[in-house]
Amino acid sequence: MLTGRCYCGELRYKAEGDPVTRGNCHCRECQYISGGQPNAFMVMSDAGFKYTKGTPKTFTRSDLEKPRTREFCGNCGTHILTRSEFRPGAVVLKVGTLDDPSVFSKPDMAIFTIDKQSFHHLHDDVPSFERMPG
């Protein structure tokens, strides 16, 4: 079981089960959320995810045809996870919120490298995709 929280501790969660995949997302939206770096994520089963303290705020862009919904702490702003129709039954958990981020180890893939910045590093031995792999 994985556990984690937001920066201020107002939100806590647990995620049971094994990650479906681990990755680094280089899309421009993730750069906004991360402060400029790729976003390290783990896809986990929604059925195994539960907030154990607090209730997140949500944000969904209204200008996109298939927007993702982002869940974050309304107090400190920490982005906890994303929900998307591209990943039904799953949550895209942000690695930096884990109590032990070392469980991430290494990404299985890098996605949206079309938006990669010159200062982003890609692992030579990790498959990378300009967009979402099909």
Decide if pLDDT at 58 tops 80: yes
- For residue 128, what pLDDT band results from cuts at 50, 70 and 90? very high
71 confidence band (pLDDT: 50, 70, 90):
very high
CA 32 to the chain's CA centroid: 13
> Is the pLDDT confidence value at 35 over 90?
no
Any idea which fold 2-115 has?
A: 2.170.150
Q: Where are the domains of the chain?
A: 2-115
- Give the model's pLDDT for residue 98: 97
Q: Is residue 134 scored above 80 in pLDDT?
A: no
Distance of CA 80 to the CA centre of its chain: 7
Structure tokens at 67: 């927007």
Chain centroid to Cα 103, Å, comes to 14
| Sheet architecture: strand order including 79-83 | 57-60, 69-72, 79-83, 90-94, 39-45, 21-25, 109-111
Across-strand partners of 21?
A: 43
pLDDT reported for residue 65: 78
